[in-house]
Amino acid sequence: KWKDFKSTLTRHYILPYTNDRERLSQPPETYKFIEKAQWDAFVASRLSKDFESVHSQHAQIREKLEYNHRLSRKGYAGLEDQLEETMPGDELQKQVSEGKVSVYGSNDVLTMALGPEHPGRVRGVGAGISPRQYFNLPKPQRMSFDDRLKDSLRVLLQEENKKMEAKAREEALRMEARTKQLVEAEREHFLSQLSQLIPNFDPSMLKPRISQSPKNPMSDKASCSGGDVRSLHFEDDTAKNGKHQEEKVFGLERDTFVLPEDITQFAGMEEIGATVVAVYMRYLHDLLKQANMCSMVGFIDPATVSANSGTIADRSRLVAARLQKTDGEQIFMMPYNPGRHWILLIVRAKRETVYFLDPLPGNRVVDEEGKNIVNSAIKIYNSHIARAGRKAVIWKTLSGTPKQPSSVECGYYVMRFMRDIIMDPSLAFEKKYAKGKQEAPYPQEAIDEVRNEWAEFVCLHME
């Protein structure tokens, strides 16, 4: 602009050299197109008294300004007049109230009236508040009729569940009161049944032991429901540093319910279920405590890996939770039933090794589902201890175990396997059973020994 050009010549090439007439006698080298006559006339006008007075006056006005001038010649006063003419605030507010103008977020009436604010700031709310914090609030959610109906049904279901739970608790208390009257008779019947069906079982041998046990140091609790179910509740309390510290067989407190058919099947050497095996594992845990071997051997509840415990992923997480409580080189015994047959898996998580013991003769292989459960559990365990681990878990088949003579003894053989393993303080089961040849069956006396131990243990833990 011509105005800016004249200002540049005045500020940079004339006023700094008012005392150097020789310097002002020629046009600047930068602007050689200016003729000397034009330059002399321009210099004379800028050194006149009139220009000096005007220049001094405007310089004093500029010094008093607190903010840089960015609104051209109209200034702030002119801007206010302009806004009142173009976007009057009262008129905008009226249009908003009438619904003619919509406002949302940062596009409010104030912004329409004054124009957009500088980025990162919000008018009228103080310092430190960004537009994102002030305007971008969550939109109100509209609830459809279906959603309201679902919420109402959910509330009704919750109330109905509470009523059913209260009724169930009341019924349980009533049944418990009735049960106490039948417990003693049930005990006598149970002892009589075992003495008739299990060889070498003498119920008179148990009665003195029960009477001598001052509430049994394991604070056992048992309950029966109408003579149909026997509940064995085990809590391990061992003195340590003057305090009682609870040790849990399967990693958590557990109620075991023994059904009459469990007792009948066990006494008659028929196929047995997970409850019978779990009770015997509880007995073996007591033997480990007496031998101070609990830090060497642990147990995984057979119910944890049964199909009733959920998907393979669910069962893997349950097994991993148990493995995470391992102590160094501790092994975990895991009886597993893939379907009408019991096998024994011994998990050594620290070494990522699993041993497979099958009482059936022949070249047996691990059930694929059981293998996936344990493999996934060891991977979760490795992640828990921040270890990369091997690409694949090592599986070893110990084929040198005694073999069952028929199709029903597998559960008893697995129980005997566990007993024989913990009876060796060196836990040299790998060397003992890795003979690579089929072993003869256990003598019936060895199986009866396990059955008698199970029966005595159950009787001791019933009230």
CATH number, domain with residue 375: 3.40.395.10
**168 vs 116: which has the higher pLDDT:** 168
In this structure, the answer to whether residues 41 and 181 fall within a common structural domain is no
Asked if residue 116 is part of any domain, the answer here is no
Task: Give the whole-angstrom CA distance, residue 256 versus residue 278.
Answer: 8
Give 396-452 pLDDT, tens digit per residue.
999 889 999 988 899 999 999 999 999 998 998 988 888 766 578 999 999 999 999
Asked if residue 74 is part of any domain, the answer here is no
Give 282-298 pLDDT, tens digit per residue.
999 999 999 998 889 99
Asked if residue 127 is part of any domain, the answer here is no
In this structure, the answer to whether residues 56 and 203 fall within a common structural domain is no
Domain final residue, candidates 17, 39, 64: 64
Instruction: Give the pLDDT of residue 244.
Output: 30
In this structure, the answer to whether residues 59 and 177 fall within a common structural domain is no
Instruction: Give the pLDDT of residue 87.
Output: 55
Q: Count CB-CB contacts under 10 A for residue 299.
A: 22
In this structure, the answer to whether residues 202 and 60 fall within a common structural domain is no
Residue percentage of the chain with pLDDT more than 90: 22
In this structure, the answer to whether residues 405 and 275 fall within a common structural domain is yes
Asked if residue 71 is part of any domain, the answer here is no
In this structure, the answer to whether residues 55 and 183 fall within a common structural domain is no
Q: Count CB-CB contacts under 10 A for residue 283.
A: 19
Q: Torsion over CA of 371, 373, 378 and 381, rounded to 10 degrees?
A: -170
Task: Give the whole-angstrom CA distance, residue 342 versus residue 442.
Answer: 16
Q: Count CB-CB contacts under 10 A for residue 381.
A: 23
Asked if residue 81 is part of any domain, the answer here is no
Whether the pLDDT of residue 242 is over 80: the answer is no
SS3 226: coil
Task: Give the whole-angstrom CA distance, residue 204 versus residue 187.
Answer: 13
Domain final residue, candidates 42, 64, 86: 64
Contact partners, residue 74, CB within 8 Å, separation at least 6: 81, 82
Domain final residue, candidates 64, 79, 106: 64
In the numeric block, the tokens 């493995």 are attached to 323
Mean pLDDT of all residues in 206-210: 41
- Structural domain tally of the chain? 2
Instruction: Give the pLDDT of residue 415.
Output: 97
In this structure, the answer to whether residues 36 and 184 fall within a common structural domain is no
SS3 250: coil
Whether the pLDDT of residue 326 is over 80: the answer is no
In this structure, the answer to whether residues 193 and 48 fall within a common structural domain is no
Give 128-173 pLDDT, tens digit per residue.
777 777 776 666 666 677 778 888 888 888 888 888 888 888 888 8
Asked if residue 207 is part of any domain, the answer here is yes
Asked if residue 104 is part of any domain, the answer here is no
Task: Give the whole-angstrom CA distance, residue 78 versus residue 92.
Answer: 20
Asked if residue 384 is part of any domain, the answer here is yes
* Integer angstrom CA distances of residue 325 from 238, 330, 331, 395, 455: 19, 9, 11, 21, 30
Q: Is the dihedral of CA 168, 235, 422, 301 positive or negative?
A: positive
For the chain, give the mean pLDDT. 78
In this structure, the answer to whether residues 304 and 445 fall within a common structural domain is yes
Range of the domain at 317: 172-460
Residue closest to 331 by CA, chosen among 304, 303, 352: 352
In this structure, the answer to whether residues 373 and 231 fall within a common structural domain is yes
